[in-house]
Amino acid sequence: MNAIVFKALGNDTRLKIIEMLMIKEHNVTDLTKISEKDQTTVSRHLATLKEAKIISQKRIGRNKIYTIIDSKMKTWLNAAVQNNNKPEEDILLRDKIKDFLTNQENKYE
């Protein structure tokens, strides 16, 4: 990892975006609603995360979908970001949401 990655992770909004993308890929509209930031701000944060090679984007129709770049980065982020002294209840809730979303994805594949 290099300084660009750590600098990119040094912002609360970007960390929130990363946590959302750890659960499921999202478009800018989803990230805007969840983060409660305007679209311009979210887009700038996404550009910083892309430049740091933490996330990637793909186009589906008119939407750009953002995701963690690969499984190796996701594993590293899980260790570095997800365990930042959050209460046990938050971790359990996040795991339940992740399981639910995974089950939903598997139904439609």
pLDDT higher than threshold 90 for residue 106 = no
Predicted confidence at residue 95, as pLDDT, reads: 77
Predicted confidence at residue 48, as pLDDT, reads: 95
Residues 83, 81, 39: CA angle, nearest 5 degrees: 135
What whole-number percentage of the chain has pLDDT above 70? 83
Q: What is the mean pLDDT of the chain?
A: 84
Q: Which two structure tokens, joined as six digits, stand for 33?
A: 């609603």
26 contacts 20 by C-beta, under 8 angstroms? yes
Query: Positive or negative, the Cα torsion across 57, 33, 45, 47?
Result: positive
pLDDT higher than threshold 70 for residue 82 = no
What architecture does CATH give domain 3-107?
Answer: Orthogonal Bundle (1.10)
- Residue 30 has a CB neighbour count (10 Å cut-off) of 17
Sequence ranges of the domains in the chain = 3-107
Predicted confidence at residue 100, as pLDDT, reads: 73
